Amino acid sequence: MTSDVDIAGKTLFQLFTDEQVFSWNEDPLTASYEGQRRYEDRLASCLPADFERRADAYAKFLTRLHAIDHAQLSREDQVSYDLFDFILTYRVKFAAYKEWRAPLYSDSGFHTEVMQMHEAADTQSVPGCERYVARLNDVKRYFAENIANMRQGLKEGYTLPADILPGVASVIEAEQFTNPEDSPLYGPFKAFRQSIPATEQARLQQAGKAAIRSAVIPAYRDLQTFFREEYAPKARKTIAASALPNGKAHYADLVRYYATFDITPDEVHDIGVKEVARIHGDMEETMKGAKFTGSFADFLAFLRRDPQFYAKTPMALLKDASYIAKEIDGKLPQYFSKLPRMTYRVEAVPATLAPNYTAGRYNPGPNDGRTPGSYWVNTYALDRRPLYSLPALTLHEAVPGHHFQIALARELADLPAFRRNTYLSAFGEGWALYCEKLGVEMGMYKTPYEDFGRLSYEMWRACRLVVDTGMHWKGWSREQAFDYLRRNTTLSEHEVRTETDRYIAWPGQALSYKLGEIKLCALRQNAERALGPKFDLRTFHDAVLAEGTMTLPMLERRIDAYVALESSRTRG
């Protein structure tokens, strides 16, 4: 006899399946990164009507979800329900703001996603290569639709701020190629599997060159012309998200979304001010440990300028990052009982992105079971990439930070597909920032300078709470944000600019790091107090990562359940 729990669970699973198929069809590039090959001959349709249709579909999915009795679900299905509810609720909310009118950030956007789409291409077979060629041929249409959407944004006052556009222009400039073979998108045609006959290889190479020459190169050229001649001259002169149409409500929703719980911009700002003051005291103590006799400002200037703190060549920086990553690898079994099966590699940030990019980032790559993740290290402008920050950067971007959480989530075969691929910043970035602090226990900071680099990174994330809300909610200027970051962190002038512009272009996201880390540290402290000498750091970390990404309130419930279970085992 079928129980109510079984019926509710099957209804929920069917909803997940229907939504997943819909989303893959609507977003073919994401489908490719998730290992789905049937959509690889095209890119998404980006007409305004498409966005309206998707918003309507998400609202209907949400209605179907709310028709399911949450109480009739198993505990695991309740977790899936809650996460799905959060995701769909904010998709519907954000659809009302028509964010598609500005499909760019300061260092990324639709154009950078296309320039990297060869990573997800299935070029292991002739049909796979042919689908990739078809997708290349679709680039010109895809760019034209996005440019049309940006023109609508210009008419309606919904654009990126003019102040940050020079950095965006530098990224678009780096994406201009005249020879198809020089484009990263030609990469798959340079190395075929031996099973593909030589005659087929030659045919596919010619098809790839023709597609890049006739569709891709003109699309990027058209984007550059539009950006330079139309967009930049007419872009808005304000920087705040709250200055956009319906901007106050939009920014408040962004804050709640990136925090994953109900909090106001003013509350976030106050948390940031308190954290900055606390971390500043720790930085002063660490400066004393380095036996520096000047002022705090003098110490920051010393760290920014002394050549001992900077690699002389890109390869030297990559080697240092690789050595640190490998040292961490050797320590991981002491802190985790479950390690991911998929490995990762250390690479330079792609040249097309590097000039306006952050110091490093994790690129998970396609979820195809054969492609490792990539710890990207920015080797552009070496005099702005301090070595004393490298341990913290590696702990955050590689292991046990983003690589662990993403690779382990992909292994959760028993969970619905959307849970294996969803990424919420408060959980993901909170975990990665927590891992920087975990590096102290792991013995990864060998000198006072490296520990100061860690504290400066933590300060940087605390400053984000102040700067992001300052600019988008409290009327701060771009120059005020520059000055605040200069006074409180060791970020170079270049990084101060690129980071500030990132916050301007991507409002709210930068808040997720510190808010997530604060919650994780609090949950660990609570578990340590409750379990006393029976607290096991390995099982705590495993519990945090065991079910993939989730909102912070969901994580709190998960850790409460973990503590209760461990307590019952202790009593037994």
Query: Cis omega before residue 400 (within 30°)?
Result: yes
C-alpha span between 71 and 75 (Å, rounded): 9
The Cα 388–Cα 437 span in angstroms is: 15
448 with 290: CB under 8 angstroms? yes
Count how many residues are written for the chain. Answer: 572
Q: How far apart are CA 181 and CA 137, in angstroms?
A: 16
Element (H, E) at 345: strand 344-348
Neighbouring C-beta atoms of residue 479, cutoff 10 Å:
10
**Distance in angstroms (rounded) separating the CA atoms of residues 506 and 526:** 33
Mark 382-415 as b/e (b = at least 16 C-beta within 10 Å).
bebbbbbbbbbbbbbbbbbbbbbbbbbbbeeeeb
- Given this model, what pLDDT does residue 571 score? 61
- Cβ proximity of 362 and 403 under 8 Å: yes
The edge-to-edge listing of strands for the beta sheet with 360-363 is 344-348, 373-377, 360-363
User: How many beta carbons lie within 10 A of that of residue 560, not counting itself?
Assistant: 14
Find residue 361's DSSP bridge partners: 376
Low-confidence ranges of the chain (pLDDT < 50): none
pTM confidence score: 0.95
Q: Determine how β-strand 360-363 pairs with β-strand 344-348.
A: unpaired
Q: What is the pLDDT of residue 2?
A: 62
